[in-house]
Structure 1
């Protein structure tokens, strides 16, 4: 059974479920809560039931009232003349292509909830450049990144927390450059300000 899918109807209700199948339902419940479909108390009850489920009959009702969640389409982000940003809470696909254009692009993962094991990002700095901000505890493999004229800077650490994705970054710095880093003091200050509103 693929990731993020509910138990399929042709399974016998009495058939035993695997760890992966329980985890897929847990992930779907967490996503539903992040989308505002479940409140915290309901999420807690359902998570407990999912983690202790033994059969498909135990699991199926936990996501029956939630929409089916398909895989997230690859994302292409272009800076164009005015620039582009992707910040806040957004669904992270496994593949992202970013073009800095004239105006630059900022890709900020700090408020996303992502359980993918790996995210492939192809970044082209072009004239405006590309900035990628990943949470503390995420790591990046940048060994296949081309400096270009604008250069490439990797300011991330190599300490990976369990359950976090690895960013596999490829592409070219172009004339604007590409930077991948963890949140700086300005990012943290702006995030605190948004949370206080």
Structure 2
């Protein structure tokens, strides 16, 4: 009997990261400096921001402030299932804060090389299963693989540890399964194709 896959969390139920909390704290301090909230209210909201667990906890703290950068909308969770034919997200696509990838028998490929992502952190819950999961991230993006559980397959992290300012952290969780999970930067061939596409688009 196979375990039932948990339903994707709603927007408000998604866990907030340190960066999410820090962004709200910074906005609250700016609002107090401008006289929009008094010091007593600032203290109360700061305490709530620093102890917030989810986006639903954070969102109300800046909802009444103008010029709100507030909490970035994490988007609807994305679930990909490799099944028999495989599944992929490539090219330009909207990146949510939480992605679940089941390798199945066809495999899953997540390619972030052409996306624009303002989220500070993206969780990729990868299950290698029979055919594996491949994650391709641009140079300058970083990945945290500490949350991936071992299995019969192998976790292969071929990325460099350097993370450029303003880029998201890809936080890998899940399990490697039988076929494994691979996270890497674009290959030489993929980089050449990216440059050709960028030149083609620039000429339009």
Q: Could you say whether these structures have the same fold, taking a TM-score greater than 0.5 normalized by the shorter chain as the test?
A: yes
For residues 50-86 of structure 1, the C-alpha deviation after alignment (integer angstroms, 9 at most, x for no partner) is xxxxxx6xx7xxxxxxxxx964100001111011110
**Deviation >3 Å, runs of 4+:** 192-197
Q: Match of 1:122, SS?
A: strand
Q: Kindly report which structure 2 residues correspond to 1:63-74, keeping only aligned pairs within 5 A, or say none.
A: 71-74=74-77
Write the mapping of 1:36-185 to structure 2, written as runs, cut at 5 A.
71-185=74-188
Any idea what SS the aligned residue of 1:170 has?
Answer: strand
Q: Tell me how far apart the structure 1 counterparts of residues 133 and 177 of structure 2 sit (CA, whole Å).
A: 10
Moved more, 182-191 or 100-109: 182-191
RMSD: 2.6
Which consecutive residues of structure 1, in runs of 5 or more, have no partner in the other structure? 4-14, 17-55, 60-68
CA contact (8 A) 2:74 2:119 kept: no
- Runs of 5+ in structure 2 lacking a partner? 1-22, 24-34, 37-65
CA–CA distance in structure 1, aligned partners of residues 108 and 76 of structure 2: 19
Query: Do the aligned residues in 2 keep the contact of 1:146 with 1:152 (CA within 8 Å)?
Result: no
| TM-score normalised by structure 2 residue count | 0.61
Distance 1:195 1:141 in 2: 29
CA distance in 2, matches of 1:78, 1:85: 9
Residue-pair matches, total = 139
Scaled by the length of structure 1, the TM-score of the pair is: 0.63
- Could you tell which deviates more after superposition, 131-140 or 141-150? 141-150
Q: CA deviation at 1:145?
A: 1.1
